[in-house]
Structure 1
């Protein structure tokens, strides 16, 4: 058994939500279709709200959020943090501007996994808010996947 500090997950979620909101704002500025622009603006606003929620959660806990986990869970959590798109230059370098929706898919999947892990480790912390965020992240991921499926990105001018 090892200990894990859940604040590491919260800090990553704050950082990720902030940066993905910026990404969605940039995508909104690059597209010409009004509906696509509106969708990316909504996604960005959702991510900004999520960032505020995670920041608030971090401030609620003066100390660390230490929890005991088995070795396998510890390794998995460490990998989630280490290989986050926003923290790992090797991961970022594999993508170019044209991969914006692929990047968004990776970010949405990673965020959903991070939130699920946070909820598993701390089921009594902001359970209602976490469940709302998980639903929203699933909607975001679904939108990105559908957009990729429909090969909408050439018409968006990306």
Structure 2
């Protein structure tokens, strides 16, 4: 068994365990029906989808002849840095600053992004966030806050 097949089967197995754990833990909460959902309905659906997807990953691993590609650690690092900066900046600097940091750091994951495009998307993301969460929904998170 090749390294690729072993790795994909391990991922499928771990996903199946997580799905089964979701289902097992959610049944005690009560499932209800699609018309009258109880607290465990969504986690059971999520666990079921995880079981189905783990089966698809396992089947793909056993039937595919393609070699696994090396993961892009640089890209993953920038996306994780963007998510972490969003989480840290949300309360300290406000939603708009957090969105700008998230977009800018996440865009660094792909090489070749121009600074003007990055600034335009970050500004657009902040504007859309303000329109949706600030005006339309009115969440109780500050849009901009002085970090000092």
Q: TM-score, normalised by structure 2?
A: 0.37
Larger % of helix: which?
Answer: 1
Q: Which structure's relative contact order is higher, taking Cα pairs within 8 Å and 6+ residues apart? A: 1
